[in-house]
Structure 1
């Protein structure tokens, strides 16, 4: 079992930036990922609890990266921004084993881990722009939103007889 969530209302807008304020509409993805949106994140796998205060977009992108790595590799590592710790992941068959530094190891099904990472990313891309409206103007956030929230356009179905058929 995996629990992965955050509360948008408890997520801070920014840590740093020019003159202590970041322009979310124009900030690059690096700044948005590492310098903004820190908040308490619930992250538990079985009895192993890795919850803490982390940058939300960093965790979202980091865990999506882990799912992609584990599709082809046995092991991968994710270092949380701002000294949040080093997560180590290992895949054995259908299971993922996770640990943070010397914390206890958690075990979860690979499919469940992927589903949780995708749901977390979707929530981040939906909720952060609601709380910080200028974020929806950001071209890099728009690109992520297209990738993770919007379905690709469906192909038109060819009709029998073509457009001139009667």
Structure 2
């Protein structure tokens, strides 16, 4: 299983303001994000899960929450922390006869979830949005010497960069 963080962040690492992205809608970014996570399990915090209930991403959702015992969505399970979420992700990845145990499980936020999972990530797929925006939620800083950009694609309004941990880059 590969643990992959997916986020869109402004130049000042802002990812949210009042539960929304702080920049104008970027259709190309939303489209590439949705296509990326469509058939894979995703890990997200309860507030992010609640904000996406009408259009849940991924094939299965692992909701990280210490205050919720269950959710009323058949494709979703609750985990009470990072270790439990990773265990659930490994179970889900191996559930279909173990055919995709090396496949990605995407971490989708919010800010606290990104920070908690940062030490466990294998890769990041980050949409670097042009400009700085006022925000109340930020993507955590990372040591860029421990990561390497493996692919970069420029779009109007953002650049998609795929990062891999240096020790995993060989």
TM over 0.5: no
Q: Greater CA radius of gyration, 1 or 2?
A: 1
More helix by share: 1
TM-score (norm 1): 0.30
TM-score (norm 2): 0.30
